[in-house]
A = this chain, B = another copy of it.
Amino acid sequence: MRLTRAGEYAVRCVLYLARRGPGALVSRKEVAEEADIPGQFLAKIAQQLARQGIIEIMQGAGGGYRLSTDPDRITMLEVIETIIGEIALNDCVLRPGSCGNSDICAVHRVWGEAQARLRDHLNGVTFADLLAEEERLRG
């Protein structure tokens, strides 16, 4: 895998929305400025998050973004994989056909297990957890 800039921005965006409260409708401009994300780039990312159902986008004057569900039901894995696709440490894990050896390859198994552990770990972290940790760090 590789966390691209877009993936990092997606996490920042969702975290900022979570921080503003579950129901808050926040303009793209505000998110972009406060979370330090290039505005137009954020637009692309938000559209992907919306397609995935993680956020809702309101168009037109007074529009903006809001979370479509509670922060404790959104995990880091979801947000990241929405943007960069399924996390894969080696291509052969995602597409076993890409290497003819994959069914008898010992290395393949190592990648598979490492990937599974990483995904499980990230899937265990919700944005509610992140908010709570932020509180702890601040206070």
How many chain A residues touch B (CB < 8 A): the figure is 31
Partner of A110, one of B89, B111, B130: B130
Nearest Cβ in chain B — how far from A132, in angstroms?
Answer: 8
- With both beta carbons as reference points, the residue of chain B lying nearest to A115 in the complex is identified as B118
Residues of chain A from 82 to 120 with CB closer than 8 A to chain B in the complex: 89-91, 104, 106-107, 109-111, 113-114, 117-118
Of A1-9, A21-29, A55-63, the one touching chain B: A1-9
Specify the main secondary structure of chain A where it touches its partner: helix
Confirm or deny: A54 has a beta carbon within 8 angstroms of a beta carbon on chain B: no
- With both beta carbons as reference points, the residue of chain B lying nearest to A134 in the complex is identified as B106
**Distance A109 CA – B130 CA, assembled complex (angstroms):** 10
Residue pair B107, A130 in contact (C-beta under 8 Å)? yes
Residue pair A3, B89 in contact (C-beta under 8 Å)? yes
Confirm or deny: A72 has a beta carbon within 8 angstroms of a beta carbon on chain B: no
Confirm or deny: A32 has a beta carbon within 8 angstroms of a beta carbon on chain B: no
